[in-house]
Amino acid sequence: MDIKQQIEGLKKLQTKLYGNDFLLTWEKSNDELKAILEVAQILKDMRGANISPRLFDSGLAISQFRDNSTRTRFSFASAANLLGLEIQDLDESKSQIAHGETVRETANMISFLADFIGIRDDMFLGEGNKYMREVGAALDDGYATGVLPHRPGIINLQCDIDHPTQSMADLLHLKNEYGSLENLKGKKLVMSWAYSPSYGKPLSVPQGIIGLMSRFGMDIELAYPDGYELIPEVVELAGKQAKASGGSFKVSHSMKEAVEGADIVYPKSWAPFHIMQKRTELLKKSDRAGLDALEKTCLAENARFKDWEYNEGMMKRTKNNNALYMHCLPADITGVSCAAGEVAGDVFEQYRVKTYLEAGYKPYIIASMMLTQRFKDPAVVLEKVLEQNNKRVPFR
Amino acid sequence: MDIKQQIEGLKKLQTKLYGNDFLLTWEKSNDELKAILEVAQILKDMRGANISPRLFDSGLAISQFRDNSTRTRFSFASAANLLGLEIQDLDESKSQIAHGETVRETANMISFLADFIGIRDDMFLGEGNKYMREVGAALDDGYATGVLPHRPGIINLQCDIDHPTQSMADLLHLKNEYGSLENLKGKKLVMSWAYSPSYGKPLSVPQGIIGLMSRFGMDIELAYPDGYELIPEVVELAGKQAKASGGSFKVSHSMKEAVEGADIVYPKSWAPFHIMQKRTELLKKSDRAGLDALEKTCLAENARFKDWEYNEGMMKRTKNNNALYMHCLPADITGVSCAAGEVAGDVFEQYRVKTYLEAGYKPYIIASMMLTQRFKDPAVVLEKVLEQNNKRVPFR
Amino acid sequence: MDIKQQIEGLKKLQTKLYGNDFLLTWEKSNDELKAILEVAQILKDMRGANISPRLFDSGLAISQFRDNSTRTRFSFASAANLLGLEIQDLDESKSQIAHGETVRETANMISFLADFIGIRDDMFLGEGNKYMREVGAALDDGYATGVLPHRPGIINLQCDIDHPTQSMADLLHLKNEYGSLENLKGKKLVMSWAYSPSYGKPLSVPQGIIGLMSRFGMDIELAYPDGYELIPEVVELAGKQAKASGGSFKVSHSMKEAVEGADIVYPKSWAPFHIMQKRTELLKKSDRAGLDALEKTCLAENARFKDWEYNEGMMKRTKNNNALYMHCLPADITGVSCAAGEVAGDVFEQYRVKTYLEAGYKPYIIASMMLTQRFKDPAVVLEKVLEQNNKRVPFR
């Protein structure tokens, strides 16, 4: 579909994205999610056609990473730069969870000329998303009192509950793999726990996946060894959404059985919910010894499930022996990045390029979240960009 | 006043800001200070009107922070970005005070394509401002010998003597609070020491305040517990300036008495001059034990003056019980950021938004310092910007 | 020569720089090296004439510094900014040598919207250049498989073998000092080891110098104390190139004798090849004790050659007592940055400004490498830039 047609499609969607932060996919309507995907695809196609969608002459996009990041950091930087904004990183020297007054003040102090704040805060269960809303309230307050000339938008770059820029990139990948969102109906997607030699991986990816993918009529199966529960509220939500969308949702406890007949598999390690709770307590108290002990227990527990590896045998059980393999990367690849991991080396290699393509949507998803937050009528704006036809590389 | 009128006002001022670093407010004439304020206000109003004052197509603004900073860092970044420059941070891996040859060489090596260097160096008494001048001399040398295509301008982002971007932002706040600089005449401003549970806070804020505010016909009172002296030269200067401007200057030793009838109060902690001298010696020798001992002594000394808190009782003594409270932020707020601090929680809360507004001028003050250093006739340049009417957000 | 004439000269050169990384000068033809110099000079002259050569509306230039850097970092940032790209730094939290899968994946993950990757990796002998080629292969793969919209170019910002941005800046300096590359014919250039109180300095500068300067008909003499060998392949290459270009190449073991009648001297410390090999092994094993022991041995060995200082006495032996002194900076200057070093204080001071001018070419050399990698016909592009005549500082 050409860019013009896509813009026409975008016009038909009813959205209230303008002026609202992007914190959880399930706070957004289906039309809103579709609009994010459309705008992302248009921006990607414009990049391919050397059309610059520079919408800002200047301005800052602030990033705050309370946990390490390479790919999301670069995705955010790429998105901001594409739209004409400069990245400015807020680097907290200490990893304390700042609360209350400090958050409110800092949020205002950095935002006098800011357009967006992207936040990653996924270390502490019960804290990350809350922190983002605290920043949001501070910005509302700053705008209402005339401190800020406009209200900067917030983008959740991964919290304790959701990882919307990841799950939306994954969804755009699926849409393009299957031709349309409609074509996802009736497909079986397995979000499965997988073994990893490390522990403490956040829950936000599996939660983000079941919280989003359950809205498009798919049959979602969430598989994990007993004890590796996710946040109950998100699981419950996924069930309701699946039902409402004409799909289904099921929790099971064997990767082997779950992948049977699957169209799509997402094998990915995570730490159990109750461990993450304990870990949060220990992190807050900076209890090094306690954390070390917890890690030992967990790794021993993990080791009991080394057979939760997605490999040739597992793949053979999927639909036509070739379910689409997905991962947010980096994966723990057996024989490549570790001795035993989430996925066998040969299986990963078959889908490696597809996982790269999957990741490649993220910068455009973030740019789309920015654009739709800041411009009332994205279709009209994109039409103007198309008409203006500024070249990103003028003399190419 | 609309932007055009403000530009007309700007035209009447005689300045030699062009080509000169901004290192101390008292090196600038009254007309020059007024010009900085005017240009800052115009830039702020242009931002509000979505007019982009982008004066550079490309170029670097280098920041060098020899001490931690969040708000000044973001203010500098915002100012540079507003004018079209990209921030590049000079991150010294070690906190040694580099001298002589190294300073000269480094200053040139980073400046081949730089437009500005913003420097914060407030840790060592007798060093910070000197260092800035050393960098300046190196740049003069580099320009004179053809090494640099032009002479990058230097902006003092806080030194051991002055904090001009702060004090000028404070002055613009006062100007807007009272309607004009003329209206400041006869107002009583109290720059008071206040208790803080930390020690070693730089002297540059109180010095910057008395060194600037004493020039506009105000009655300045500097209050501190015996022993908490500032640099004598700056105090002497403030006295002379106050007299010359038709105001007065007084040193006293009781916050309670000082705030009596005050129009404006600025309660802020700082370390005594002689302690900062001792500290500088110890820092230079990296004498950890000596520094710890000094800190202990100081905190014990500080603790004797816990009643130097600006609270309801103090406020009641000011003019109409509601003197304008000012602070450079972050303040040590009793019951909020500490058990006992510079200001009572309820009093701070009454003026919180005003302190945010006060801080909000800083990016524009810095942008104004850049603009007036680099363009011979700022009024003409701003007129062209207005006429050109480029939108910061074109399709808003 | 004016800019138009220079562009005409550029048109006559046959190059295949387009689409090819810049990793080693000896992989490039003479015409290609000349084109790099021409474009760099044109960009420098455009900067002087306030003409903005902004060729990108947006885009990222990624820098990866696996070793400390100030001047190359700022040169890369300046070059990117000049062309309209934003710097994004890839900061590896750990200094491990990442290999294989991780390199391939990371290279793709950061490059979805990147135009260039500049890499410094000079710590490990046998690793740096290899790493750059690994990244390059990953990017080829990413582009071939449709993961990347185009293939970002790689620029070697110093590896274990070569330091092409340095040597090319040095060559442009020589060209301007002597009026043309042709005038370098028959000139005697001495690349000499010199004493330094530190150890472990990379071999890439001397190797880069003999690998490049041996191609222009000069008489190159490489002088070092017995034991301070460079990588044999590079030395052999320099010999062949010198012969082919009508010059000569000689290795000798006395600075005093080598500088006799020299036109140009480049006294610079480096660690012996076999020591760097041993050091690489120890670094890989993180053998702290072994590294300390090696350092001690080396410093003791170094100390035997304190007379390898370039001083008045040495200078007196050069052609007309005033050979052109060159250095990549920072130099170890006797009595200035150390008690005894590579060069005497008074001699350095005579040539200080020239070394600054030498360094000043680097940003333009890097920008030239970017431009020639990304645009098929640089002359046509630069003609358009000239014609377009966009001002870097519009209202200057």
State which amino acid sits at residue C95: S
Phi-psi region at B200: left, alpha or beta (left = phi > 0; alpha = psi -120 to 50):
left
Q: Is the pLDDT of residue A97 over 80?
A: no
Verify whether the Cβ–Cβ distance B101 to C337 is below 8 Å.
yes
Using one digit for the tens of pLDDT, what is the confidence trace for B110-125?
A: 999 999 999 999 888 8
Using one digit for the tens of pLDDT, what is the confidence trace for B38-52?
A: 999 999 999 999 999
Contacts with B60 from chain C: Cβ below 8 Å: 74, 77-78, 81
Q: Is C81 near chain B, with CB under 8 Å?
A: yes
In the stretch 15-44 of chain B, residues with CB closer than 8 A to chain C read: none
Q: Is the pLDDT of residue B99 over 60?
A: no
HSE-up of A240 (CA within 13 Å, CB side)?
7
Chain B nearest C-alpha distance from C358 (Å): 9
Verify whether the Cβ–Cβ distance A395 to C380 is below 8 Å.
yes
Average pLDDT over residues A42-70: 94
- CB count in 10 Å sphere of residue C389: 11
The secondary element (H helix, E strand) that includes residue A265 is: strand A264-267
Using one digit for the tens of pLDDT, what is the confidence trace for B295-308?
A: 998 899 899 999 99
Helical ranges in A153-196 per DSSP H: 164-178
Chain B nearest C-alpha distance from C298 (Å): 25
Helical ranges in A247-311 per DSSP H: 255-258, 273-284, 288-303
Contacts with A395 from chain C: Cβ below 8 Å: 55, 375, 380-381, 384-385
pLDDT at A100: 56
pLDDT at A284: 85
pLDDT at B284: 85
Q: Is B349 near chain C, with CB under 8 Å?
A: no
pLDDT at B179: 98
Verify whether the Cβ–Cβ distance C113 to A363 is below 8 Å.
yes
d(CA B130, CA A64): 34
Strand ranges (E), chain B: 60-65, 86-89, 114-121, 153-159, 188-192, 219-223, 248-252, 264-267, 324-325, 333-334, 343-344
Chain B and chain C share a number of CB contacts under 8 A equal to: 90
Give the range with max mean pLDDT: A66-75, A268-277, B63-72, C313-322.
Answer: C313-322
Calculate the CA A122 to chain-centre distance: 12
Q: Is B109 near chain C, with CB under 8 Å?
A: yes
Closest alpha carbon within chain C to B56: C393
pLDDT at B96: 41
DSSP result, C40-64: HHHHHHHHHTTB-----SS-EEEEE
Among A105, A139, A150, the strongest candidate for a mutation testing the B interface, having the largest count of B CBs within 10 A, is A105
Q: Is the pLDDT of residue C314 over 60?
A: yes
In the stretch 282-341 of chain A, residues with CB closer than 8 A to chain C read: 329-330, 333, 336-337
Q: Is C149 near chain A, with CB under 8 Å?
A: yes
Chain B nearest C-alpha distance from A376 (Å): 8
Contacts with B109 from chain C: Cβ below 8 Å: 70-71, 74, 329, 356, 359
Q: Is the pLDDT of residue B390 over 60?
A: yes
- Contact by Cβ (8 Å): A324, A264: yes
d(CA C58, CA A367): 14
Task: Please give the mean pLDDT across all residues of chain B.
Answer: 95
Average pLDDT over residues C37-45: 98
Verify whether the Cβ–Cβ distance A360 to C100 is below 8 Å.
no
Contacts with C86 from chain A: Cβ below 8 Å: 77, 81, 86-87
Among A329, A395, A396, the strongest candidate for a mutation testing the C interface, having the largest count of C CBs within 10 A, is A395
Given the structure tokens 């939760």, which residue do they identify? Answer: A308
Q: Which two tokens stand for residue A102?
A: 């400090």
Q: Which domains does chain B have, with CATH numbers?
A: 3-162+362-388 (3.40.50.1370), 166-359 (3.40.50.1370)
Verify whether the Cβ–Cβ distance A353 to C147 is below 8 Å.
yes
Q: How confident is the model at residue A101 (pLDDT cuts 50, 70, 90)?
A: low
Chain C nearest C-alpha distance from B89 (Å): 9
Contacts with A114 from chain B: Cβ below 8 Å: 78
Closest alpha carbon within chain B to C392: B57
Verify whether the Cβ–Cβ distance A57 to B390 is below 8 Å.
yes
Verify whether the Cβ–Cβ distance A88 to B82 is below 8 Å.
no
ipTM for this model: 0.95
Residue C93: C-alpha distances to residues A96, A371, B121, B146, C346 (Å): 20, 32, 27, 39, 41
Verify whether the Cβ–Cβ distance B394 to A88 is below 8 Å.
no
Among C102, C103, C109, the strongest candidate for a mutation testing the A interface, having the largest count of A CBs within 10 A, is C109
Q: Is A268 near chain B, with CB under 8 Å?
A: no
pLDDT at A77: 97
- Contact by Cβ (8 Å): A138, A108: yes
Calculate the CA B26 to chain-centre distance: 12
Q: Which chains touch A (3 or more CB pairs under 8 A)?
A: B, C
Q: Is C145 near chain A, with CB under 8 Å?
A: yes
Closest alpha carbon within chain A to C93: A68
The secondary element (H helix, E strand) that includes residue A312 is: helix A312-316
Q: Which among C52, C86, C363 is the nearest to B86, CB-wise?
A: C86
- Contact by Cβ (8 Å): A269, A201: yes
d(CA A141, CA A148): 9
Q: Is B365 near chain A, with CB under 8 Å?
A: no
Phi first, then psi: give them for residue B300, nearest 5 degrees.
-65, -45
Q: How confident is the model at residue A149 (pLDDT cuts 50, 70, 90)?
A: very high
Contacts with B333 from chain A: Cβ below 8 Å: 101
Q: How long a stretch of residues is chain A?
A: 396
* Beta sheet of B219-223, edge-to-edge order: B248-252, B219-223, B188-192, B264-267, B324-325
pLDDT at A93: 60
Q: Which among A105, A149, A375 is the nearest to B330, CB-wise?
A: A105
Q: How long a stretch of residues is chain C?
A: 396
d(CA A302, CA A300): 5
Calculate the CA A170 to chain-centre distance: 8
Verify whether the Cβ–Cβ distance A48 to C100 is below 8 Å.
no
Which DSSP symbol is given to B271? Answer: -
Average pLDDT over residues C1-24: 96
Q: How long a stretch of residues is chain B?
A: 396
Using one digit for the tens of pLDDT, what is the confidence trace for B191-213?
A: 999 999 988 889 999 999 999 99
Q: Which residue has the higher pLDDT, B277 or A368?
A: A368
Closest alpha carbon within chain A to C149: A48
Verify whether the Cβ–Cβ distance B81 to A60 is below 8 Å.
yes
Q: Which two tokens stand for residue B367?
A: 């942008």
Using one digit for the tens of pLDDT, what is the confidence trace for B133-179?
A: 999 999 999 999 999 999 999 999 999 999 999 999 999 999 999 99
Q: How confident is the model at residue B101 (pLDDT cuts 50, 70, 90)?
A: low
Q: How confident is the model at residue C206 (pLDDT cuts 50, 70, 90)?
A: very high
Residues 6 or more apart whose Cβ sits within 8 Å of residue A327: A266, A267, A268, A342, A343, A355, A358
Q: Give just the sign of the alpha carbon dihedral B67, B68, B74, B77.
A: positive
Name which of A87-96, B238-247, C317-326 the model is least confident about.
A87-96
Q: Is C380 near chain A, with CB under 8 Å?
A: yes
- Contact by Cβ (8 Å): B331, B131: no
Using one digit for the tens of pLDDT, what is the confidence trace for B256-265?
A: 999 999 999 9
Q: Which two tokens stand for residue C299?
A: 């410093």
Verify whether the Cβ–Cβ distance A86 to B82 is below 8 Å.
no
Chain A and chain C share a number of CB contacts under 8 A equal to: 90
Chain C nearest C-alpha distance from A42 (Å): 14
- Contact by Cβ (8 Å): C73, C63: yes
Verify whether the Cβ–Cβ distance A145 to B75 is below 8 Å.
no
Q: How confident is the model at residue C68 (pLDDT cuts 50, 70, 90)?
A: confident
DSSP result, A318-341: SGGG-PEE---S---EETTTBSS-
Q: Is A4 near chain B, with CB under 8 Å?
A: no
Calculate the CA B350 to chain-centre distance: 23
d(CA C323, CA C261): 8
Q: Is the pLDDT of residue C100 over 60?
A: no
Q: Which among B59, B109, B147 is the nearest to C81, CB-wise?
A: B59
Name which of A343-352, B95-104, C74-83, C299-308 the model is least confident about.
B95-104
Does the pTM exceed 0.90? yes
